[in-house]
Amino acid sequence: MRLDWLEDILAVLDTGSFVRAAERRNLTQSAFTRRIRAIEDSLGAPLFDRSRKPVTLLPAIREQEAQMRRLASDLRALGDSLRGAALGQDRAISLACQHAITTTVSPALVRQLTEATGASVRVRSGNRDECLLMLLSGEVDLVVSYDLAGVDAAPTPAFHDHTLGQETLRPVCTPAVAKSLRTGNLPVITYPRDVFLGQVMDSQVWPRLPSGTHLHRKAETALTLAAYHYALDGIGVAWLPGSLVANDLASGALVDPFSGSFGITLEIRLLRLRDVTRPGVREAWDILVQDGA
């Protein structure tokens, strides 16, 4: 199946007529009609129900619409990749970031890489363990994730890491929730215990709360951005990256109900595989390490 065939078929599907499809494809109607006939002749079967207005794909063909769109997109991407490789421009770098980092930290990293190298940067988002698995499997070149500050992690032979900076995980809520807090009762938005931030809460936050504090777990999510919106909606207190809530704290939309007493310092870590052979990955690493030093 050729890309131009798919684009011709999808043009008819999107516009509802051969006339408008021909205009989209920058062809005369007669030339476009001949192309559609040629496609059908090559496939050995009709594709369109011409007895209906607007023209429609035959039902059995219409069932393949999603696959045709997916295939057309893949063929375009493949063409771009082959063209870039032939011209020496196949320098795309892929990052996997924890969800909050995708929003708060990755824009600056993407800007640094694109400005310094002109490379395309693909960003994937996931939980910390998912990001590391993507790195190990070769799906991505670099990972940006959180780690606890001041905690020496066990050496990992597969990874090389560098600390780009620090972030404070801090409790925030709406002013109305802060005013309603009563001693011993704390409505919270939590993270699952099987994700990194949930483990941080279990080991670093809950044990530090005053004795007798009862956690009222109002909501649980692995998505930091979801926890952020839950906090804005007044559901409870959420521990969120300071960079994510800085503007809301400045405007008063959110407040720290504990006046800074229960923040947790996190380090922002850049990781790559130790055995990297592709020059573009080493170049990207050096750029980010130098700018983050």
Domain boundaries, the chain: 3-86, 93-165+267-292, 168-265
Half-sphere exposure of 148 (CA within 13 A, CB side): 17
Query: In CATH, which of 3.10.20.70, 3.40.190.10, 2.40.30.200, 2.40.110.10 is domain 93-165+267-292?
Result: 3.40.190.10
Phi, psi at 169, each rounded to 5°? -85, 115
Question: Identical fold at 3-86 and 168-265?
Answer: no
Taking domain 3-86, whether its CATH number is 3.40.50.1100 is answered by no
Average pLDDT over residues 15-21: 86
Reported for 38-46, long-range contacts at CB under 8 A and 24+ positions apart, including other chains, are: 39/5, 39/8, 39/9, 42/5
Judge contact between 187 and 237, C-beta under 8 A: yes
Q: Any idea which of 33-42, 177-186, 225-234 has the lowest mean pLDDT? A: 177-186
Q: Which residue has the higher pLDDT, 118 or 20?
A: 20
pTM: 0.65
Judge contact between 72 and 3, C-beta under 8 A: yes
Q: What is the largest CA-CA distance in the chain?
A: 82
pLDDT range class, residue 86, cuts 50, 70, 90: low
Q: Any idea which of 81-95, 113-127, 199-213, 260-274 has the lowest mean pLDDT? A: 81-95
**What does the pLDDT read at residue 154?**
53
Taking domain 168-265, whether its CATH number is 2.30.30.100 is answered by no
pLDDT for 122 beyond 70: yes
pLDDT for 52 beyond 90: no
Average pLDDT over residues 1-28: 88
